[in-house]
C-alpha cells in the first residue's frame, strides 16, 4: 500500500459512561453490530474498547470488522402473487451478500478474544484493512458468557445507532430479523482509528445530550457535502452530564461522570487538532431542592463564575497541554423548560457572554445565536424546538452544524 499512509487518526468516536440502570444489567449470547462511516482512506485499523464504568471485567468472545453488505431485496417489493419467486430471490440476495461479506478478526495480543478489565480501556492489535473514504464498516462484537452491560452511551443522529441480535451472528452479512432489534446504545466500542494520510485530522465535539444527539452527524454530512474531506468529527458526549458534579444514585447514574473525570479520558483522540466544548446547561437546570428531589439540592446550583472557573481549570488547561485548539460552544435557549426560571437564564446568558469573548479560547461556535428566536432570544426560533424547550429539533441541529466555522474543518 502507499507509503503516504503514515498517521493514526480517529475516524469515529464516542464517549463511554454509565448505562441506564434497568432491571436487567447482564447479557449473554449477544451480538452487537455498529456501522461506522469511514471518512478517510487508509490501510490499517485499530479499535479502542472501554469498560470505564464497569465494575466487572468484560470478555469480548469474538470481534470482526467488515465492509457493510448491501441490503437484500425483501418479499414486500414483489407483487401479483409472486411470493415463492420473491422468497427465492431474497435467498439468492442473502447468499450473494454473505459470499461477498469478508469479516476480518479484530485481535488482542494475537488472540481472537479479549478482556476489558473493570474501569479500564483496551486497545486492539493493529489489523491490515484497506479502506476507501465514504465506505461503511460493520464492527461486530459477540459476547458468549454473562456480560455486565454497564459501559456505554446513547447517541442519535442520521449516522448513529446499531443493532443487537440474540445469538452469534458476528460474521454474518445479514442479522436475522426475528432475533434483531435496533439500538442507540453504543456499548464498549469507544473509538476507531485508521492509518491514513498526514493531512487528515480529528475535530472533537465535547458535551452533553445536545452533542449526544444529532448535530455532530449533520456536521459530518456537511463536511462530505462541502468537500471538507480531511476532518473526522469525533463525538464525546453524555446525556445529563455536568461540568462540576455527578450523581451517585442509580436513578441518575446514566447522567454520567463529571467534567473533571471525563475530559482527560475523552481527549485521548489520535490526530486531534481542536475541540469544541458545549457543556454546562445541566449544571444550571438540574437543581430543584431536596424537598422536590433528594438527589438534586439547591447547593448544586452554580454561579456563572463557577462554570467559568470549571471550564478554565478542567478543560482549557488540559486541552492546551495536549496541544489542542479550544473553541467554546454557547448554551442554547431554555425558555419553557420544566425547571426554567429567570435566575437560571441569567446564569446561562452571563456564561454565554464569557464563552463568546474570553481570550482563552481560539474562537466561539455561537450555537445559541444559530437557533434562538429573533423576537424572543430566550427561546428557540420557530420550528427549532423539539417540543421540550431544551433539545433542538432536527432542523435546529442542522443549523448548529452549519454554524461551525470553516476554519475548524480545513
Assign 70 a pLDDT band (cuts: 50, 70, 90).
Answer: low
List C-alpha distances in Å: 84 to 34, 92, 96, 176: 32, 12, 18, 19
- The per-residue pLDDT for range 291-347, each reduced to its tens digit, is 999 999 999 999 999 999 999 999 999 999 999 999 999 999 999 999 999 999 999
The pLDDT score that the predictor gives to residue 123 is 98
Length of the chain: 410
The pLDDT score that the predictor gives to residue 333 is 98
Is pLDDT above 60 for 95? no
- The per-residue pLDDT for range 116-155, each reduced to its tens digit, is 999 999 999 999 999 999 999 999 999 999 999 999 999 9
Report the 10 Å Cβ neighbour count for 300: 16
* Domain boundary assignment for the chain: 14-71+100-190, 200-408
The pLDDT score that the predictor gives to residue 4 is 87
Question: Which tops the pLDDT comparison, 79 or 107?
Answer: 107
The pLDDT score that the predictor gives to residue 79 is 28
Task: Give the mean model confidence (pLDDT) for residues 45-58.
Answer: 97
Is pLDDT above 60 for 96? no
Task: Give the mean model confidence (pLDDT) for residues 48-67.
Answer: 97
- The per-residue pLDDT for range 268-279, each reduced to its tens digit, is 999 999 999 999
The pLDDT score that the predictor gives to residue 22 is 82
Fold of 200-408: Rossmann fold (3.40.50)
Task: Give the mean model confidence (pLDDT) for residues 341-361.
Answer: 98
The pLDDT score that the predictor gives to residue 98 is 65
The strand ranges marked E within 14-72 are 17-18, 26-27, 30-37, 42-50, 58-60, 62-67
The percent of residues in the chain predicted with pLDDT above 70, rounded, is 92
Is pLDDT above 50 for 1? no
- The per-residue pLDDT for range 161-199, each reduced to its tens digit, is 999 999 999 999 999 999 999 999 999 999 999 999 999
Distance CA 190, CA 122 (A): 10
The pLDDT score that the predictor gives to residue 135 is 95
Average pLDDT in the chain: 92
The pLDDT score that the predictor gives to residue 78 is 26
Question: Residue 22: exposed, middle, or buried by beta-carbon count in 10 A (0-12, 13-18, 19+)?
Answer: exposed
Assign 99 a pLDDT band (cuts: 50, 70, 90).
Answer: low
Q: Which has the closest alpha carbon to 332: 208, 220, 242, 190?
A: 208
Cα–Cα–Cα angle for 239, 245, 250, rounded to 5 degrees: 60
Three-state secondary-structure class, residue 374: coil
Amino acid at each position: 500500500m502507499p507509503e503516504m499512509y503514515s498517521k493514526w487518526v480517529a475516524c469515529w468516536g464516542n464517549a463511554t459512561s454509565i448505562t441506564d440502570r434497568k432491571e436487567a444489567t447482564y447479557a449473554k449470547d449477544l451480538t452487537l453490530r455498529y456501522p461506522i462511516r469511514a471518512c478517510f482512506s487508509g490501510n490499517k485499523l485499530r479499535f479502542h474498547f472501554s469498560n470505564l464504568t464497569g465494575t466487572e471485567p468484560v470478555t469480548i468472545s469474538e470481534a470482526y470488522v467488515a465492509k457493510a453488505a448491501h441490503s437484500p431485496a425483501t418479499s414486500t417489493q414483489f407483487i401479483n402473487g409472486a411470493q415463492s419467486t420473491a422468497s427465492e430471490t431474497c435467498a439468492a440476495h442473502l447468499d450473494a451478500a454473505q459470499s461477498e461479506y469478508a469479516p476480518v478478526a479484530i485481535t488482542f495480543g494475537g488472540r481472537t478474544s479479549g478482556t476489558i478489565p473493570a474501569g479500564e480501556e483496551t486497545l486492539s492489535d493493529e489489523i491490515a484493512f484497506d479502506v476507501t473514504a465514504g465506505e461503511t464498516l460493520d464492527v461486530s462484537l459477540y459476547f458468549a458468557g454473562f456480560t455486565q452491560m454497564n459501559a456505554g452511551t446513547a447517541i442519535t443522529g442520521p449516522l448513529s445507532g446499531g443493532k443487537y441480535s440474540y445469538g452469534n451472528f458476528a460474521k454474518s452479512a445479514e442479522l436475522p430479523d426475528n432475533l434483531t432489534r435496533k439500538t442507540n446504545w453504543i456499548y464498549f466500542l469507544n473509538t476507531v482509528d485508521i492509518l491514513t494520510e498526514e493531512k487528515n485530522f480529528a475535530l472533537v465535539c465535547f458535551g452533553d445530550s445536545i452533542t449526544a444527539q444529532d448535530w455532530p452527524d449533520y456536521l459530518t454530512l456537511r463536511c462530505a457535502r462541502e468537500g471538507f474531506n480531511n476532518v473526522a468529527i469525533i463525538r464525546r458526549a453524555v446525556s445529563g452530564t455536568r461540568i462540576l458534579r455527578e450523581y451517585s444514585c442509580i436513578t441518575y447514574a446514566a447522567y454520567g461522570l463529571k467534567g473533571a473525570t471525563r475530559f482527560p479520558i475523552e481527549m485521548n483522540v489520535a490526530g486531534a487538532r481542536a475541540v469544541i466544548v458545549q457543556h454546562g446547561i445541566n449544571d444550571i437546570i438540574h437543581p430543584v431542592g431536596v424537598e422536590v428531589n433528594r438527589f438534586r439540592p439547591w447547593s448544586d446550583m452554580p454561579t456563572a463564575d463557577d462554570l467559568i472557573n470549571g471550564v478554565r481549570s478542567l478543560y482549557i488547561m488540559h486541552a492546551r497541554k495536549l496541544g489542542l485548539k479550544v473553541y467554546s460552544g454557547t448554551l442554547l435557549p431554555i425558555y419553557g423548560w420544566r425547571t426554567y426560571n429567570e435566575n437560571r437564564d441569567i446564569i446561562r446568558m452571563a456564561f454565554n457572554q464569557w464563552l463568546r469573548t474570553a481570550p482563552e479560547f481560539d474562537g466561539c461556535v455561537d450555537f445559541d445565536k444559530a437557533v434562538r428566536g429573533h423576537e424572543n432570544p430566550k427561546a428557540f426560533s420557530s420550528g427549532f424546538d423539539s417540543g421540550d424547550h431544551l433539545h433542538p429539533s432536527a432542523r435546529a441541529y442542522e443549523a448548529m452544524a452549519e454554524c461551525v466555522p470553516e476554519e475548524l474543518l480545513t
